[in-house]
Structure 1
């Protein structure tokens, strides 16, 4: 079971890398006001959602205690990110504040995962 959990952790990290990488590649465009949400960001957020839910289930099935408050907050932040990226994915330009909010929420989600013990 530990191997399966570690595989899903790896996939979860790939998802966050895709979301954050998609944001970081658009930083210059954000400064110019031409940033847009790309497919990597959408697919990264979806990957994080699916693998995160799987990780909670696998950890509970393996007898580990899961901090449900932490998971709930991370899920809420991810749903906001996913909603923004999904709704605005076809727009030619995204407002700087909205685009920056997605990047900030993504970084916040990373810090919640790493620092909240």
Structure 2
């Protein structure tokens, strides 16, 4: 079971990298007002959602403790990010504040995951 959990953790990190990497590569475009949500950002958010739900289920099945409040907060933040990216995915330009909010929320989700004990 540990190997399966670690595989899903690795996939979860890949999803985070895709979402946050898509944001970071467009920081200059965000300053110019031409940033847009890329398919990699959408797929990264979806990967985070699927692997995160799988991780909760696998950890509970393995009788490992799961902090449900932490998971609920992370899920709420991710649903907001996923909703923003999904709704605005076809727009040629995304507002600076909206694009920045997605980056900030994604970064906040990383800090929630690592610092909340």
Q: TM-score range by the shorter chain?
A: over 0.9
The structural deviation recorded for 1:36 is 0.2
Specify the alignment match of 2:60 in structure 1: 60
Unaligned runs of 5+ residues in structure 2 are none
**What is the distance in 1 between the residues matched to 2:82 and 2:7?**
23
TM-score normalised by L of structure 1: 1.00
Specify the alignment match of 1:14 in structure 2: 14
CA RMSD of aligned residues (A): 0.3
Specify the alignment match of 1:50 in structure 2: 50
What are the superposed Cα offsets for residues 77-114 of structure 1, whole Å, 9 maximum, x if unpaired?
00000000000000010000000000000000000000
The structural deviation recorded for 1:6 is 0.2
Query: SS in structure 2 opposite 1:7?
Result: helix
Query: SS in structure 2 opposite 1:64?
Result: coil
| Pairing 1:71–2:71 present | yes
TM-score normalised by L of structure 2: 1.00
Specify the alignment match of 1:37 in structure 2: 37
Which structure 1 residue ranges, 4+ long, deviate > 6 Å from structure 2?
Answer: none
What are the superposed Cα offsets for residues 28-84 of structure 1, whole Å, 9 maximum, x if unpaired?
000000000001100000000000000000000000110000000000000000000
